[in-house]
Amino acid sequence: MSEIIKIVIDGKEIEATKGQTILQAAVNNGIYIPTLCAFDGIKPKASCRLCTVKVNGRAMTACTTPATEGMEIENNTAGINEIRKAIIEAIFVEGNHFCPSCEKSGNCELQALGYRFMMMVPRFPYSFPQRPIDATNPKLLLDTNRCILCLRCVRGLKDENGKSLFAIKHRGVHAEIVMDHEVCANISDEMAQKAMNTCPVGVIIKKEKGFDEAIGTRKFDKQPIGHEIENKFNQGGN
Amino acid sequence: MNSQLEKIIKKYDSDKFRLMDILIDIQAEFGFISKEATHDVAKELNMAVVDVEQTLTFYHFFTQKSTGKNTVYLNDSAVACMMGREEIKKAFEEAAGCKFGENSADGLIGLYNTACIGMNDQEPAAIINGKVFTKLTPAVAQQIVSGLKAGKNVQDLYHQELGDGKNAAAEVKSMVRNNIRRRGQVILNDFTPGVALKTKLSSMQPKDVIDEVKKSNIRGRGGAGFPTGLKWDFCSRSTGEKRYVLCNADEGEPGTFKDRVLLTERPEMLFEGMAIGGYAVGADQGILYLRYEYKYLETYLEKVLEDARKDNRLGKNIGGVNGFDFDIRIQFGAGAYVCGEETALIESGEGKRGEPRDKPPFPVEKGYLNMPTVINNVETFCAVVKIIENGGNWYKQMGTEESSGTKLLSISGDCAQPGVYEIEWGMTISQMLEMVGASNVQAVQVSGPSGQIIGPKDFDRKICYGDLATGGSMIVVDKTRDMLKDIVLNFMEFFIEESCGSCTTCRIVPKLMKDRLVKILNGKGVMKDIADLEDWAKILPVSRCGLGQTAANPIATSIKNFRELYEAKVQKDVDYDCGFDMNKAVQASCAFVDRVPNAH
Amino acid sequence: MSKPIVATTSLAGCFGCHMSILDIDERILDLFDLVEFNKSPIDDIKTFTKQCDIGIIEGGCCNSENVHVLKEFRKNCKILISLGECAIMGGLPALRNGIPVEECIREAYLEGPTVTLNKEGILPNDDELPMILDKVYPCHEIVKIDYFLPGCPPRADLIWNALVALLTGNEMDLPYEVVKFD
Ligand SMILES: Cc1cc2nc3c(=O)[nH]c(=O)nc-3n(C[C@H](O)[C@H](O)[C@H](O)COP(=O)(O)O)c2cc1C
Ligand code: SF4
Ligand code: SF4
Ligand code: SF4
Ligand code: FES
């Protein structure tokens, strides 16, 4: 049987299973920790830094740090949320996010975080970078203007031989996501859909589809991101 | 497939964990890594092409097109600029007939910039066809280019005598100088290879070795200062089929060069230290991760390894201790400062992008090939040899209470005697400045860009873990320098270029901060910009590794200690200026439609 | 007490944000009770006739004329509001920002598929015409902006709530559904 341990998040004691990350434990207990690069079923690599929490006073990422007995965790504090908000704003100015013309608008996790953190305008100047769009694949469009380099696609999408569909090239400010044209040449519809679902924003887009959900019916139109976690134990209640 | 290429891939058994070596050999053989070669490698290693490109495009010294028949990599770090790099650059450009970042039209010469090459005590310096040229002058730059154009061997173009010590050895033949200015009791003192291995270990259990190292209180000399004995202890307790000992010889922090001197003058000591580490934690394989900039030492180091094997200081049953087997291979990097971060170093050693890993798990649990791994700095391993020779108590007598032993400092910049100094911990900055012959000092950059820049009010502070901890880089800046432009801006650019780009924070924020600094330098700043910079700096500590965590330090510590420099540059009577310049903004469109701008 | 005075303008925008102001429906009558409009397309007053309390800017700056108007607004209004994505971040006009301005002009006047009449290849360069900026600038990257109301267009409720809060000095009430970027 798996060992149960106790940890404390923002003063609330919760139970976790040994081996779980702080994030998994929090989610299971209805506590929302903002994330962008974490994705169910894909090995975490803490690159967005949004899930940063303080563990016994030290900044750690909840998506990668295993929960251990007695951990004291700060999550929903003004100080941490201010840094998270700054990160979200930094991501917005880094790329070209023209939400009104984006296929993912309303279902986009970055945008939803902008809403949740009440971003009215980023504190940083926009950089308006020149970024490529790769439309050569028959099923997938890759619009890197919106890429946030969460690397979910790089970590999570492999073909049957374990070869990558996507990879990251260059480093630092020059980093960019590219598609492997050979591996993606005969991509199936399911895989194309999976690729689109894996991307939190509007980079990987399945062709010949889009803008097919009316405003008001999309994922984050009415409810903030994370509400499904926070309302976990309220359902059927009231 | 090209037969030469096939040979290279075969040499490494088509092993994708050796992708770095494969790419290094291809780059060396063909001068660049072509699309075809990339495809062939991908095919042979059974990888996606983009996966090969993922590694390939990460490293500065891998290129996808030719960098010229002869390639000049000119250091562009702060001290190089202080020592007159601009003139050298111009001379190279004039002689070659092309700009930096390009090849000459005839393809004979390529001119490229590169980050600190570990020669700060003899700048301006460049790596030309793999050979180091130091103390360049414009005339020399011109001679070099005409020599190369005439087809001369690069070594025949040396403008100085061969350097001192082993720099002059047949396997090195380099003009690099050691500039050892002070020898302490431990590392630069006399040394006879094999004493520790052959006379001490036979009577010590691995645990005793760890205890002795613990007793010495030595802490890692690479910068982070983690207690070495504890690290080895953790590693020896982790479970794994195999264990590894890695030496971090990436020495990428601008301003440090002491590891280069140790690799030149004390390689036997270093390899002995690694072997002792292997004995202590139960590893039989060591890897020296060596920065590409020091490739000129390769033949020499291979020979030192070979001699050690012959002398039973490496190999089987070392020093006559039954079952004590240990050997070392050299793994080159390919130009990436971040690979000095221990987990990035491991990734790189496994043939991947040098992207740091999330911790935990730490390398002592899951390191190279996911096996328990000890990683230490060159100097740490060297010191351990003397600790085993003379005992932890002997070592502890030196230095201060919490900082035991000696420390090598790499001191450069505005001082009479730049070079390597072995000091005891506890020396003050004032004493240090006197030691190196520095006057008219405006500031000292302690620990390189990732450290802090301090002014005279802090010169009484001590060099030690409790106060000014350091990996050894010390850059003296005198009062003639424009600190914000010459030092701070250069260092910000360094971090921007060297970030692996994984963390949003480290990838995005330093660039925003640099732009804001430039705005201030251009006279467009306002008071709020200073406050913004201070606020933005607070975002970076949540980055994954030390690079991002410290990337705001050049700006943050200079604001803290030299706020007046910023205040002098911002507009006093304006409270909002975002730097918009109408004349500049309409320039391009007016020129294109043939119109004289009439903005007012 | 005299009524607060409001001015509005559309720079590089599509008037969608102004439409959204009208979209507050019958509350527009309350608004006219609450404030007096000065320079604005709503009342067609073309130049400032007095100092205003609130200036509402739709659209970013794509040419010298936009910059000029925006600076006029800054001079004549106590509070400036960037209304909508274009004012806040350039919006759709800023899709050109990754493309050199020369290429944009060439495409628009010389080589684009819709260019049929410009046989002589004339480029607009009369001194009376606004000059085109190298990119479309968000308003706050030119002058200080005090408040930002996102959306494309901003929801009518957001505009209403924000104006009421500003006019009454109360906290802005911003329910989740009203702050959107599309
Ligand atoms: C960006 C970065 C660069 C680093 N570069 C080096 C280096 O060149 N050499 C080194 O020994 N340690 C370097 N370190 C520190 C290593 O991560 C690690 O702490 C060290 O190698 C451990 O050895 P030690 O305990 O003997 O110091 C670097 C750390 C960071 C974050
Ligand atoms: S990816 Fe998200 S944030 Fe970016 S433009 Fe699309 S909807 Fe907006
Ligand atoms: S393409 Fe999408 S999934 Fe891949 S790194 Fe960019 S944002 Fe993340
Ligand atoms: S802090 Fe910077 S260098 Fe370190 S992992 Fe993050 S992005 Fe890479
Ligand atoms: S979700 Fe943890 S760092 Fe991105």
Question: What does the pLDDT profile of chain C (182 residues) look like in tens digits?
Answer: 589 999 999 999 999 999 999 999 999 999 989 999 999 998 999 999 999 999 999 999 999 999 999 999 999 999 999 999 999 999 999 999 989 999 999 999 999 998 988 889 999 999 999 999 999 999 999 999 999 999 999 999 999 999 999 998 998 889 999 999 99
The pLDDT, as a whole number, for residue A237 is 44
pLDDT tens column, B62-112: 999 999 999 999 999 999 999 999 999 999 999 999 999 999 999 999 999
**Ligand 3 atom showing the smallest separation from residue A198 Cα:** 3
Nearest to B247 by CA among B236, B257, B233, B262: B262
Residue B554: CB atoms within 10 A of its CB come to: 33
> What one-character-per-residue DSSP string does A169-221 give?
ES-GGG-EEEE-TTTTTT--HHHHHHHHHH-SSSSEEETT--S-S-TTSSTTT
CB B71, CB B110: distance < 8 Å: yes
With cut-offs at 50, 70 and 90, classify the pLDDT of residue B121: very high
Q: How confident is the model at residue B318, as a pLDDT?
A: 97
Tell me the per-residue pLDDT of A186-198, one tens digit each, with 9 for 90 and over. 999 999 999 999 9
Rounded to an integer, the average pLDDT of B451-458 is: 98
Helix residue spans in B499-526 (DSSP H): 504-521
CATH number at residue C30: 3.40.50.700
In a domain, C172, yes or no: yes
Above 0.95 for ipTM, yes or no? yes
CA of B337 to the centre of ligand 3 (A): 25
Quick one: what percent of chain A has pLDDT higher than 70?
98
Inform me whether the pLDDT recorded for A236 exceeds 60: no
Phi–psi pair at B187, nearest 5 degrees = -90, -40
pLDDT single digits (tens) B144-158: 999 999 999 999 999
Of B130, B417, B122, B377, the closest CA to residue B252 belongs to: B377
CATH T-level fold of A4-76: Ubiquitin-like (UB roll) (3.10.20)
Do B70 and B108 touch, CB atoms closer than 8 A?
yes
Backbone torsions φ then ψ of B83, nearest 5 degrees? -90, 10
What is the predicted pLDDT for the residue at B69? Answer: 97
> Residues 132..151 of A with a Cβ closer than 8 Å to C: which?
145
Q: What CA–CA distance (Å, rounded) separates B337 from B501? A: 13
Beta bridge partners of B377: B248
Q: φ and ψ at B289, to 5 degrees?
A: -90, 110
CA-to-CA separations, B298 to B173, B293, B295, B335, in angstroms, rounded: 12, 11, 5, 16
Residues B528-585 have pLDDT tens digits of 999 999 999 999 999 999 999 999 999 999 999 999 999 999 999 999 999 999 999 9
- Strand B244-249 to B373-377 pairing: parallel
B452 in helix, strand or coil?
A: strand
Domain with C173 in it: 5-97+135-178
When divided into structural domains, chain C yields a total of 1
Q: Residue type for B586, please? A: V
Residue nearest to atom 8 of ligand 4 (CA): B500
**Using a CB-CB distance cutoff of 8 angstroms, which residues of chain B are in contact with residue A64?**
358
pLDDT digits (tens, 9 = 90+) for B160-193: 999 999 999 999 999 999 999 999 999 999 999 9
- What is the Cα Rg of chain C in Å? 18
Cβ atoms < 10 Å from Cβ of B454: 20
Strands (E), C36-90: 36-37, 52-58, 61-63, 77-83
Contact A170, B501 (CB under 8 A): yes
Element (H, E) at C166: helix C156-168
pLDDT of residue A1: 59
pLDDT of residue B241: 96
Chain B residues touching C142 at Cβ < 8 A: 578, 580
3 state SS of B34: coil
CB contact under 8 A, A120 and C150: yes
Q: Find out whether the beta carbon of A50 lies less than 6 Å from any atom of ligand 5.
A: yes
Give ligand 3 pocket residues (Cβ under 6 A). A 147-153, 166, 177, 198-201, 203-204
A173/B496 touch (CB, cutoff 8 Å), yes or no: yes
For chains A and C, count residue pairs whose Cβ atoms are closer than 8 Å: 71
Q: What is the C-alpha R_g of chain A?
A: 19
**CA A151, A156, A160, A161 torsion-angle sign:** positive
Share of chain B above pLDDT 70, in %: 100
Phi first, then psi, for residue B398 (nearest 5°) are -90, 155
Query: What is the SS3 assignment for B277?
Result: helix
Q: How many contacts (CB atoms, under 8 Å) link A and B?
A: 127
- Encoding tokens for residue B59? 């490293």
B405 in helix, strand or coil? coil
The pLDDT tens digits of the residues spanning B11-44 come to: 999 999 999 999 999 999 999 999 999 999 999 9
* SS percent in chain B: helix, strand, coil, step 5: 45, 15, 40
Decide: helix, strand or coil at residue B122.
Answer: helix
Read off the tokens for B46.
């059974």
Question: What phi, psi does B152 have (nearest 5°)?
Answer: -75, 150
Which residues of B are less than 8 Å from C125 in CB distance?
590, 593-595
Helix (H, G, I), strand (E, B) or coil at A131: coil
* C115 vs B491, residue with greater confidence: B491
Nearest to C121 by CA among C135, C137, C105: C105
Q: How far is the CA of A141 from the centre of ligand 2 (A)?
A: 15
Cβ(B361)–Cβ(B353) below 8 Å: no
Ligand with an atom nearest the CA of residue B552? 4
C120 within domain boundaries: no
Q: Is the peptide bond before B361 cis (omega within 30 degrees of 0)?
A: yes
Torsion of CA B179, B185, B191, B194, to 10 degrees: -130
Return the C-alpha torsion angle B79, B80, B81, B83, nearest 10.
90
Subunits close to C (at least 3 CB pairs below 8 A) = A, B
**Token pair for B90:** 């111009």
pLDDT tens-digit series, residues A123-169: 999 999 999 999 999 999 999 999 999 999 999 999 999 999 999 99
B59-95 core/surface letters (b: 16 or more CB in 10 A; e: else)? bbbbbeeebbbbbbbbbbbbbbbbbebeebbebbbeb
Ligand sitting nearest the alpha carbon of B342 = 1
Task: Using a CB–CB cutoff of 8 Å, tell me whether A18 touches chain B.
Answer: no
Residue C41 forms part of a structural domain:
yes
Nearest to B408 by CA among B364, B463, B470, B472: B472
The residues lining ligand 2, judged by C-beta closer than 6 Å to any ligand atom, are A 97-99, 102, 104-105, 108, 110-111, 146, 201-202
Per-residue confidence band for B600, with pLDDT thresholds at 50, 70 and 90: low
Per-residue model confidence as pLDDT tens digits over A203-218: 999 998 878 899 999 9
Q: Where residue B1 falls among pLDDT bands split at 50, 70, 90?
A: confident
Mean pLDDT of B296-324: 97
Return the structure tokens found at A105. 């608008």
Residue nearest to atom 4 of ligand 4 (CA): B545
Cα torsion angle, B76, B79, B84, B86, sign: positive
In the numeric block, which tokens belong to residue B587? 């320039």
Average pLDDT in the A91-100 region? 97
Per domain, the residue ranges of chain A are 4-76, 84-207
Separation in Å, CA of A88 to nearest CA in chain C: 14
Q: Is a pLDDT exceeding 80 seen at residue A234?
A: no
- Give residue A211's pLDDT: 84
Name the CATH architecture for the domain at A84-207.
2-Layer Sandwich (3.30)
Query: With pLDDT > 90 as the criterion, what percentage of chain A qualifies?
Result: 94
Distance of CA B294 to the CA centre of its chain: 10
Residue C124 lies in a domain: no
The string of pLDDT tens digits covering residues B282-299 is: 999 999 999 999 999 999
Q: Which residue in this structure is represented by tokens 């007793």? A: B215
Question: If DSSP codes are grouped into helix, strand and coil, which group holds residue C21?
Answer: helix
* B598 chain-C contacts, CB cut-off 8 A: 127, 131
Contact: B54, A168; criterion CB under 8 Å = yes
Residue A238 pLDDT class (50, 70, 90 cuts):
very low
